Amino acid sequence: MGNYFVTGCAGFIGAYVVKRLLADGHSVVGVDNLNDAYDPRLKDWRLGRLGQRENFVFEKVDIVDLDPLRTAWGDRKYDGVINLAARAGVRPSVRMPGVYYETNLLGALNLLELAKEHSVPKFVQASTSSLYGLNNPRPYREDADTSQPLSPYAASKGAVESLCHSYSHLHGMDISVLRYFTVYGPAGRPDMSIFRFVQWIAEGRPLILYGDGEQERDFTFVEDIAHGTVAALRPMGYEVINLGGDRPVKINTLIKMIEARLGKEAVIEQHAPAPGDMPATWADIRKAHELLDWQPQMNLEQGLDLTVAWYLQERDWAQTVVTAD
Protein backbone atom coordinates (compact mmCIF):
# COMPACT_ATOMS: atom_id res chain seq x y z
CA MET A 1 0.00 0.00 0.00
CA GLY A 2 1.07 3.57 -0.64
CA ASN A 3 1.92 6.55 1.54
CA TYR A 4 0.49 9.92 0.43
CA PHE A 5 0.80 13.57 1.42
CA VAL A 6 -2.56 15.34 0.95
CA THR A 7 -3.04 19.07 1.41
CA GLY A 8 -6.40 20.66 2.16
CA CYS A 9 -7.42 17.44 3.88
CA ALA A 10 -10.24 19.12 5.83
CA GLY A 11 -11.57 20.79 2.70
CA PHE A 12 -14.56 19.54 0.78
CA ILE A 13 -12.74 17.53 -1.89
CA GLY A 14 -9.74 16.81 0.32
CA ALA A 15 -11.71 15.01 3.01
CA TYR A 16 -13.33 12.71 0.45
CA VAL A 17 -9.98 11.99 -1.21
CA VAL A 18 -8.42 11.09 2.14
CA LYS A 19 -11.41 8.91 2.99
CA ARG A 20 -11.01 7.02 -0.27
CA LEU A 21 -7.26 6.56 0.14
CA LEU A 22 -7.73 5.22 3.68
CA ALA A 23 -10.51 2.89 2.55
CA ASP A 24 -8.12 1.50 -0.07
CA GLY A 25 -5.59 0.70 2.66
CA HIS A 26 -3.14 3.55 2.06
CA SER A 27 -1.49 5.76 4.67
CA VAL A 28 -2.02 9.52 4.58
CA VAL A 29 -0.38 12.55 6.09
CA GLY A 30 -2.95 15.30 5.74
CA VAL A 31 -2.31 19.00 6.22
CA ASP A 32 -4.75 21.90 6.44
CA ASN A 33 -4.53 25.34 8.00
CA LEU A 34 -8.24 25.22 9.01
CA ASN A 35 -8.69 28.85 7.99
CA ASP A 36 -11.94 30.77 8.23
CA ALA A 37 -12.45 31.40 4.49
CA TYR A 38 -15.80 29.80 5.25
CA ASP A 39 -17.43 28.46 8.41
CA PRO A 40 -14.76 26.24 10.03
CA ARG A 41 -17.43 23.99 11.55
CA LEU A 42 -17.68 22.29 8.16
CA LYS A 43 -13.95 21.55 8.21
CA ASP A 44 -14.20 20.28 11.78
CA TRP A 45 -17.13 18.05 10.80
CA ARG A 46 -15.24 16.56 7.85
CA LEU A 47 -12.04 16.09 9.83
CA GLY A 48 -13.96 14.43 12.63
CA ARG A 49 -15.38 11.87 10.19
CA LEU A 50 -11.88 10.86 9.17
CA GLY A 51 -11.31 9.84 12.79
CA GLN A 52 -8.27 8.77 14.70
CA ARG A 53 -6.47 5.90 13.05
CA GLU A 54 -2.92 4.64 12.69
CA ASN A 55 -2.70 5.26 8.96
CA PHE A 56 -3.87 8.89 9.10
CA VAL A 57 -1.82 11.73 10.56
CA PHE A 58 -3.20 15.27 10.61
CA GLU A 59 -0.96 18.34 10.78
CA LYS A 60 -2.31 21.89 11.07
CA VAL A 61 -0.08 23.67 8.57
CA ASP A 62 -0.38 26.40 5.96
CA ILE A 63 1.30 25.34 2.71
CA VAL A 64 2.53 28.91 2.24
CA ASP A 65 4.85 28.51 5.27
CA LEU A 66 7.69 26.36 4.01
CA ASP A 67 9.47 25.56 7.30
CA PRO A 68 6.35 24.25 9.13
CA LEU A 69 5.38 22.44 5.93
CA ARG A 70 8.78 20.75 5.84
CA THR A 71 8.36 19.74 9.49
CA ALA A 72 4.96 18.20 8.76
CA TRP A 73 6.49 16.36 5.81
CA GLY A 74 9.01 14.80 8.15
CA ASP A 75 11.37 12.03 7.10
CA ARG A 76 8.68 9.86 5.54
CA LYS A 77 8.93 8.51 2.00
CA TYR A 78 5.86 9.36 -0.10
CA ASP A 79 4.44 7.67 -3.16
CA GLY A 80 2.57 10.82 -4.13
CA VAL A 81 1.52 14.34 -3.25
CA ILE A 82 -2.07 15.52 -3.84
CA ASN A 83 -2.34 19.30 -3.60
CA LEU A 84 -5.95 20.24 -2.87
CA ALA A 85 -5.22 23.19 -0.57
CA ALA A 86 -6.38 26.41 -2.19
CA ARG A 87 -8.30 29.59 -1.89
CA ALA A 88 -11.29 28.74 -4.05
CA GLY A 89 -14.22 30.67 -5.47
CA VAL A 90 -14.58 33.23 -8.23
CA ARG A 91 -16.38 36.10 -6.47
CA PRO A 92 -14.17 36.43 -3.36
CA SER A 93 -11.09 36.43 -5.60
CA VAL A 94 -12.33 39.65 -7.22
CA ARG A 95 -12.33 41.32 -3.79
CA MET A 96 -9.05 39.95 -2.43
CA PRO A 97 -6.85 38.59 -5.22
CA GLY A 98 -3.65 38.74 -3.18
CA VAL A 99 -4.52 35.90 -0.84
CA TYR A 100 -5.46 33.74 -3.82
CA TYR A 101 -2.06 34.13 -5.41
CA GLU A 102 -0.25 33.60 -2.12
CA THR A 103 -1.98 30.32 -1.32
CA ASN A 104 -2.58 28.92 -4.78
CA LEU A 105 0.76 29.75 -6.38
CA LEU A 106 3.33 30.06 -3.59
CA GLY A 107 1.80 27.09 -1.76
CA ALA A 108 2.01 24.94 -4.88
CA LEU A 109 5.60 26.08 -5.45
CA ASN A 110 6.57 24.95 -1.93
CA LEU A 111 5.03 21.54 -2.50
CA LEU A 112 6.64 21.10 -5.90
CA GLU A 113 10.01 21.93 -4.37
CA LEU A 114 9.54 19.39 -1.59
CA ALA A 115 8.38 16.74 -4.05
CA LYS A 116 11.39 17.43 -6.28
CA GLU A 117 13.80 17.44 -3.34
CA HIS A 118 12.53 14.07 -2.11
CA SER A 119 12.07 12.49 -5.56
CA VAL A 120 8.36 11.83 -5.01
CA PRO A 121 7.21 9.81 -8.04
CA LYS A 122 3.78 11.45 -8.44
CA PHE A 123 2.24 14.90 -8.00
CA VAL A 124 -1.49 15.64 -8.45
CA GLN A 125 -2.57 19.28 -8.67
CA ALA A 126 -6.15 20.53 -8.43
CA SER A 127 -7.25 23.07 -11.03
CA THR A 128 -10.56 24.47 -12.24
CA SER A 129 -13.04 24.61 -15.10
CA SER A 130 -13.10 28.39 -14.62
CA LEU A 131 -9.98 28.55 -16.80
CA TYR A 132 -11.98 27.98 -19.97
CA GLY A 133 -13.37 31.52 -19.99
CA LEU A 134 -15.85 32.83 -22.54
CA ASN A 135 -14.59 31.93 -25.98
CA ASN A 136 -14.06 28.17 -26.12
CA PRO A 137 -16.51 25.78 -27.78
CA ARG A 138 -18.33 23.39 -25.48
CA PRO A 139 -17.83 20.80 -24.23
CA TYR A 140 -14.45 22.08 -23.10
CA ARG A 141 -11.45 20.04 -24.18
CA GLU A 142 -8.21 20.10 -22.25
CA ASP A 143 -6.34 21.57 -25.25
CA ALA A 144 -8.66 24.62 -25.41
CA ASP A 145 -7.28 28.14 -24.99
CA THR A 146 -7.03 29.01 -21.29
CA SER A 147 -5.15 32.27 -21.72
CA GLN A 148 -8.17 34.51 -21.03
CA PRO A 149 -9.44 33.72 -17.50
CA LEU A 150 -12.28 35.85 -16.16
CA SER A 151 -11.28 36.03 -12.47
CA PRO A 152 -8.16 36.21 -10.29
CA TYR A 153 -9.07 32.75 -8.99
CA ALA A 154 -9.01 31.24 -12.47
CA ALA A 155 -5.85 33.17 -13.32
CA SER A 156 -4.10 31.86 -10.21
CA LYS A 157 -4.93 28.29 -11.20
CA GLY A 158 -3.67 28.93 -14.72
CA ALA A 159 -0.40 30.12 -13.22
CA VAL A 160 -0.18 26.96 -11.14
CA GLU A 161 -0.72 24.82 -14.23
CA SER A 162 2.15 26.63 -15.97
CA LEU A 163 4.35 26.12 -12.92
CA CYS A 164 3.55 22.40 -12.87
CA HIS A 165 4.40 22.12 -16.55
CA SER A 166 7.76 23.79 -16.01
CA TYR A 167 8.63 21.41 -13.14
CA SER A 168 7.64 18.44 -15.24
CA HIS A 169 9.76 19.69 -18.14
CA LEU A 170 12.81 20.67 -16.09
CA HIS A 171 12.87 17.90 -13.51
CA GLY A 172 11.03 15.02 -15.19
CA MET A 173 8.25 15.09 -12.58
CA ASP A 174 5.11 13.04 -13.24
CA ILE A 175 2.30 15.56 -12.71
CA SER A 176 -1.45 15.21 -13.24
CA VAL A 177 -3.43 18.48 -13.30
CA LEU A 178 -7.15 17.95 -12.72
CA ARG A 179 -9.68 20.56 -13.81
CA TYR A 180 -12.71 20.09 -11.56
CA PHE A 181 -16.19 21.12 -12.70
CA THR A 182 -18.61 22.52 -10.06
CA VAL A 183 -18.22 19.95 -7.29
CA TYR A 184 -21.14 19.37 -4.89
CA GLY A 185 -22.31 16.88 -2.29
CA PRO A 186 -22.83 16.39 1.46
CA ALA A 187 -20.85 18.82 3.64
CA GLY A 188 -20.03 20.94 0.60
CA ARG A 189 -18.64 24.44 0.51
CA PRO A 190 -21.22 27.01 1.67
CA ASP A 191 -20.16 29.53 -0.99
CA MET A 192 -21.23 27.09 -3.73
CA SER A 193 -24.72 27.27 -5.19
CA ILE A 194 -26.11 23.90 -4.09
CA PHE A 195 -25.31 24.28 -0.38
CA ARG A 196 -26.63 27.84 -0.43
CA PHE A 197 -29.81 27.00 -2.32
CA VAL A 198 -30.63 24.01 -0.08
CA GLN A 199 -30.17 26.10 3.06
CA TRP A 200 -32.04 29.13 1.80
CA ILE A 201 -35.02 27.17 0.49
CA ALA A 202 -35.19 24.89 3.54
CA GLU A 203 -35.15 27.85 5.93
CA GLY A 204 -37.44 30.11 3.88
CA ARG A 205 -34.72 32.69 3.32
CA PRO A 206 -34.36 34.74 0.13
CA LEU A 207 -32.46 32.85 -2.56
CA ILE A 208 -29.92 35.24 -4.05
CA LEU A 209 -29.77 34.58 -7.78
CA TYR A 210 -27.09 36.30 -9.84
CA GLY A 211 -28.26 36.85 -13.40
CA ASP A 212 -31.37 35.34 -14.97
CA GLY A 213 -30.72 31.74 -13.92
CA GLU A 214 -30.21 30.58 -17.49
CA GLN A 215 -26.49 30.11 -16.93
CA GLU A 216 -25.43 26.45 -16.96
CA ARG A 217 -23.12 24.41 -14.76
CA ASP A 218 -21.68 20.93 -15.18
CA PHE A 219 -22.27 19.62 -11.64
CA THR A 220 -20.01 16.79 -10.46
CA PHE A 221 -20.61 14.70 -7.33
CA VAL A 222 -17.77 14.85 -4.84
CA GLU A 223 -17.28 11.09 -4.54
CA ASP A 224 -16.81 10.87 -8.30
CA ILE A 225 -14.23 13.64 -8.02
CA ALA A 226 -12.43 11.74 -5.25
CA HIS A 227 -12.41 8.59 -7.37
CA GLY A 228 -10.91 10.46 -10.32
CA THR A 229 -8.32 12.18 -8.15
CA VAL A 230 -7.06 8.90 -6.71
CA ALA A 231 -7.09 7.33 -10.18
CA ALA A 232 -4.81 10.17 -11.35
CA LEU A 233 -2.04 8.87 -9.07
CA ARG A 234 -1.05 6.39 -11.78
CA PRO A 235 2.09 7.24 -13.80
CA MET A 236 1.25 9.28 -16.92
CA GLY A 237 3.80 12.06 -17.29
CA TYR A 238 2.45 15.61 -17.45
CA GLU A 239 -1.28 15.57 -18.25
CA VAL A 240 -4.20 17.98 -17.83
CA ILE A 241 -7.50 16.16 -17.34
CA ASN A 242 -11.10 17.31 -16.96
CA LEU A 243 -13.28 15.76 -14.26
CA GLY A 244 -16.90 16.75 -14.83
CA GLY A 245 -20.42 15.45 -14.85
CA ASP A 246 -20.79 15.83 -18.64
CA ARG A 247 -24.34 17.12 -18.20
CA PRO A 248 -24.83 20.91 -18.06
CA VAL A 249 -27.90 22.03 -16.09
CA LYS A 250 -29.43 25.49 -15.95
CA ILE A 251 -29.48 27.17 -12.54
CA ASN A 252 -33.25 27.67 -12.83
CA THR A 253 -33.63 23.91 -13.34
CA LEU A 254 -31.38 23.22 -10.35
CA ILE A 255 -33.56 25.43 -8.15
CA LYS A 256 -36.69 23.53 -9.17
CA MET A 257 -34.98 20.21 -8.41
CA ILE A 258 -34.08 21.38 -4.91
CA GLU A 259 -37.58 22.80 -4.34
CA ALA A 260 -39.05 19.41 -5.21
CA ARG A 261 -36.80 17.60 -2.73
CA LEU A 262 -37.57 20.01 0.10
CA GLY A 263 -41.26 20.44 -0.72
CA LYS A 264 -40.83 24.22 -0.49
CA GLU A 265 -40.76 27.04 -3.01
CA ALA A 266 -37.77 29.36 -3.31
CA VAL A 267 -38.17 33.06 -2.57
CA ILE A 268 -35.93 34.39 -5.32
CA GLU A 269 -34.07 37.67 -4.95
CA GLN A 270 -32.55 38.47 -8.33
CA HIS A 271 -29.28 40.37 -8.66
CA ALA A 272 -27.13 41.48 -11.56
CA PRO A 273 -24.69 38.88 -12.95
CA ALA A 274 -21.63 38.56 -10.73
CA PRO A 275 -18.31 39.76 -12.17
CA GLY A 276 -16.00 36.92 -13.16
CA ASP A 277 -18.75 34.28 -13.36
CA MET A 278 -18.82 32.10 -16.47
CA PRO A 279 -22.13 31.83 -18.34
CA ALA A 280 -21.76 28.08 -18.86
CA THR A 281 -19.49 25.09 -18.24
CA TRP A 282 -19.41 21.61 -19.74
CA ALA A 283 -16.59 19.09 -19.51
CA ASP A 284 -15.36 16.90 -22.34
CA ILE A 285 -14.42 13.85 -20.27
CA ARG A 286 -13.13 11.54 -23.00
CA LYS A 287 -9.55 12.00 -21.83
CA ALA A 288 -10.45 11.03 -18.26
CA HIS A 289 -12.11 7.88 -19.57
CA GLU A 290 -9.09 7.05 -21.73
CA LEU A 291 -6.33 7.74 -19.21
CA LEU A 292 -8.05 7.08 -15.88
CA ASP A 293 -10.82 4.67 -16.86
CA TRP A 294 -13.07 7.23 -15.18
CA GLN A 295 -16.56 8.49 -15.73
CA PRO A 296 -19.11 9.92 -13.28
CA GLN A 297 -21.25 7.34 -11.51
CA MET A 298 -23.66 9.66 -9.70
CA ASN A 299 -26.24 11.66 -11.64
CA LEU A 300 -27.51 15.00 -10.37
CA GLU A 301 -30.85 13.58 -9.20
CA GLN A 302 -29.15 11.00 -6.96
CA GLY A 303 -26.51 13.45 -5.79
CA LEU A 304 -29.11 16.02 -4.78
CA ASP A 305 -31.02 13.37 -2.85
CA LEU A 306 -27.90 12.64 -0.80
CA THR A 307 -27.00 16.31 -0.36
CA VAL A 308 -30.46 17.35 0.81
CA ALA A 309 -30.64 14.34 3.15
CA TRP A 310 -27.30 15.33 4.69
CA TYR A 311 -28.49 18.90 5.23
CA LEU A 312 -31.70 17.79 6.92
CA GLN A 313 -29.78 15.38 9.15
CA GLU A 314 -27.29 18.09 10.18
CA ARG A 315 -29.83 20.92 10.12
CA ASP A 316 -29.44 21.91 13.77
CA TRP A 317 -26.08 23.49 12.99
CA ALA A 318 -26.02 23.55 9.17
CA GLN A 319 -28.86 26.10 9.10
CA THR A 320 -26.57 28.59 10.88
CA VAL A 321 -23.63 28.20 8.49
CA VAL A 322 -22.95 31.55 6.84
CA THR A 323 -23.34 31.29 3.09
CA ALA A 324 -21.90 34.64 1.96
CA ASP A 325 -19.87 34.79 -1.25
From residue 258, how far is each of 112, 184, 251, 302 by CA, in Å? 41, 13, 11, 12
Name the pTM for this structure: 0.97
pLDDT digits (tens, 9 = 90+) for 76-90: 999 999 999 998 888
Alpha helices in 190-299 (DSSP H): 193-202, 222-231, 251-262, 286-292
What pLDDT does 325 receive? 67
Domains and CATH numbers, the chain: 3-185+220-244+282-297 (3.40.50.720)
Mean pLDDT, all residues of the chain? 96
The mean pLDDT of 275-289, rounded to a whole number, is 92
252 pLDDT tier (thresholds 50, 70, 90):
very high
Q: Which residue has the higher pLDDT, 90 or 210?
A: 210
Q: Look up 210 and say whether it is catalytic.
A: no
Least confident of 39-43, 248-252, 253-257, 275-279: 275-279
Which residues lie closer than 8 Å to 186 by C-beta, 6 or more apart?
222, 306, 307, 309, 310, 311
- Whether 127 shows a pLDDT value over 90: the answer reads yes
Contact 278, 133 (CB under 8 A): yes
What pLDDT does 189 receive? 96
290 pLDDT tier (thresholds 50, 70, 90):
very high
- Whether 165 shows a pLDDT value over 80: the answer reads yes
What pLDDT does 89 receive? 83
- Whether 96 shows a pLDDT value over 90: the answer reads no
The mean pLDDT of 282-296, rounded to a whole number, is 98
What pLDDT does 15 receive? 98
The mean pLDDT of 138-159, rounded to a whole number, is 96
- Whether 148 shows a pLDDT value over 70: the answer reads yes
Selected catalytic residue, list 4, 101, 153, 184: 153
The mean pLDDT of 285-293, rounded to a whole number, is 98
Number of Cβ within a 10 Å radius of residue 320: 11
